[in-house]
Structure 1
């Protein structure tokens, strides 16, 4: 962890505060920890943990953010990238750019991710349509779309779990 007020504790997974921290400090530290859990080489084995990390990273944005979790053939993280930022209730997502990023990183699979600033993670018809469009575009270049996760302060929704993939 690269945060000046926090250092590793004696037991693995524990931390010691070197000085008082604010709520903003705690949120920043949680985001840094979540980002480290989605860092290069990490295997994604527990969907609930992945949801938790993504929620920590995206739930507090006041605008929509669309991101890609790029994975190798063994579903280990290559990179987590925020690609597009939008407004309060939408973000323009360009399939060409998504395909380009997947090719640049030599990804075998991706997980699509975006947030709903309203807090409600339920997918809209536009979300389902985008999922289909991106899945088709990525299929053409041999990249599997494993999921599309929508993050809100009320939790995360997996479009794969809902049968849309």
Structure 2
């Protein structure tokens, strides 16, 4: 059945206009991007099939050009559109925390870190350096690979904090599995970094673990 025959409150575009984008499922949002389905299948059903085939949005949106264009209902034009949309989203979020801007919102910080880190195929440990008014000095990715207590070196974080003359830092790392739940190793890294930075009167404000669609704050968990 064509989407045009559906009730207005079930059509993705009309539903978004009436209730906002947050009310739509992943499949409905993807269907708006696709615009049309394939022979014998609506855009929403095609979107559901694509999400099921690739295991969710994260994998689907992370496909390289060859894999993306080889998928039913997709092609070069859609790949170009998708890359443009993703880059626009990243740039929009980066503008919320430009160099010299003071951090106004924990939620904005989390969205910024998600935009920076969630699509890495491997683990990355990053640091957001701040001045004494919590204005952004620099974002740097320092460690790569398996992020554990032996691979994250507090001395290097301290060295970069001194270089930037930072008064505070927020550290973050991603979980490529998509699950943002911190491990015991994550807690141990946090405590080691807090102690090392405190020797220089640099505050560790938070350690954020980035998953596929959410983040977990170790400060909110009481670890810091």
Structure 1 and Structure 2 fold alike (TM over 0.5): yes
Q: Give the corresponding residue for 2:111.
A: 52
Conserved 8 A contact 1:41-1:76: yes
2:209 to 131, 143, 150: 150
TM-score, normalising length: structure 1 = 0.82
CA distance, structure 1, for counterparts of residue 143 and residue 87 of structure 2: 21
Residue ranges of structure 1 left out of the alignment (5+ in a row): 1-19
Structure 1 runs (4+) deviating above 3 angstroms are none
Does residue 1:134 correspond to 2:193, yes or no? yes
- Show the 5 A alignment for 1:29-68: 29-68=88-127
Conserved 8 A contact 1:38-1:80: no
Greater gyration radius: 2
1:120 to 179, 193, 200: 179
Conserved 8 A contact 2:137-2:164: yes
RMSD: 1.7
The one of the two structures with greater contact order (alpha-carbon pairs below 8 A, sep at least 6) is 1
Q: Deviations over 1:35-85 (max 9, x none)?
A: 332221111111011111111111111101111010111111011111111
- How far apart are 1:107 and its partner, in Å? 0.2
Does residue 1:102 correspond to 2:161, yes or no? yes
TM-score, normalising length: structure 2 = 0.61
SS of aligned partner of 2:219:
coil
Residue ranges of structure 2 left out of the alignment (5+ in a row): 1-77
